[in-house]
């Protein structure tokens, strides 16, 4: 429902807000998102996050809700960086990166199962979570006009995930030891995607990007959504300001020697950015 709402809202704004302006524009009045070879964006991402991680343990809460079980902060402020390189008239290469780190000390309100270890209700534990996301995307423009650009492409989201729980735990329900249980995995998730740019003049630009993945690839199976509607205002010739809404959802089952489990992660929120172009 969220994704459908964003798509409908974006195209309504595109159609009605700038319809009159389009008629009066000259061919030279082109926004950098449609014409420049290089575009760089860096900004502050105000993300609301939901984290669920499961390890090959037993019990009803095999999949652990990190926010609820460990009272992790749902909101995170981090930096996000991306760039676009148009290396030919039709083809482009883009990259993106953001990172999140979170941790807490907490008294458990229920038993937590982590592999063959049980952290009992009432135990004091220390937990931590980390994510580094790298996105590489190669695309081709299918429809280029003076004020429009529509294209599709293929890419990969490389997720580097780590998580740990430290505290007193039971092993096989009969031993009480201090344990640190952690996982670390590198999950490359390929995706298809498309973009649409609309710029009625050299100052204002709208864009919409969507990445999707829903396949089984080697040791990973799951789905990925990356949704990014945005608006950009060109302040100077080579500098602009942007406001966008970013929605990431990663779900996967992992079958690796160092981690047999699954994860379900959602990040969404506004991104305020500054752009450079040439």
Domain ranges of the chain: 50-75+85-194+209-226+246-263
Across the chain, mean pLDDT equals: 84
pLDDT in tens, 182-240: 888 888 888 999 999 999 999 999 999 999 988 776 677 788 999 999 999 999 999 99
pLDDT at 139 over 90: yes
CA-to-CA distance for 138 and 210, rounded, in angstroms? 13
Contact 238, 276 (CB under 8 A): yes
Contact indicator for 233, 203 with CB cutoff of 8 Å? yes
Q: What tens digit of pLDDT does each residue of 148-193 get?
A: 999 999 999 999 999 999 988 877 666 677 778 888 888 888 899 9
């Amino acid at each position: 429902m969220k994704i459908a709402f964003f798509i409908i809202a974006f195209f309504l704004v595109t159609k009605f807000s700038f319809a009159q302006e389009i008629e009066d524009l000259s061919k030279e009045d082109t926004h950098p998102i449609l014409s420049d070879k290089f575009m760089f964006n860096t900004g502050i991402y105000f993300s609301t996050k939901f984290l669920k991680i499961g390890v090959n343990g037993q019990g009803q809460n095999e999949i652990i809700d990190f926010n609820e079980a460990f009272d992790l902060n749902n909101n995170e402020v981090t930096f996000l960086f991306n760039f676009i390189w148009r290396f030919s008239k039709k083809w482009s290469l883009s990259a993106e990166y953001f990172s999140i780190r979170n941790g807490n000390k907490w008294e458990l309100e229920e038993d937590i199962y982590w592999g063959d270890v049980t952290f009992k209700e009432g135990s004091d534990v220390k937990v931590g979570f980390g994510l580094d996301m790298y996105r590489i995307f190669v695309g081709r423009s299918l429809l280029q006009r003076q004020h429009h650009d529509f294209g599709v492409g293929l890419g990969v989201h490389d997720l580097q995930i780590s998580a740990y729980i430290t505290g007193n735990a039971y092993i096989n329900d009969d031993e009480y030891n201090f344990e640190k249980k952690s996982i670390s995995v590198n999950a490359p998730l390929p995706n298809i995607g498309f973009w649409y740019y609309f710029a009625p003049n050299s100052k204002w630009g709208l864009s919409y990007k969507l990445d999707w993945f829903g396949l089984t690839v080697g040791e990973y199976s799951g789905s990925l959504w990356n949704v990014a509607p945005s608006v950009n205002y060109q302040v100077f010739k080579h500098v602009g300001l942007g406001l966008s809404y970013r929605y990431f959802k990663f779900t996967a089952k992992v079958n690796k020697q160092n981690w047999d489990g699954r994860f379900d992660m959602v990040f969404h929120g506004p991104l305020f950015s500054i752009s450079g172009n040439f």
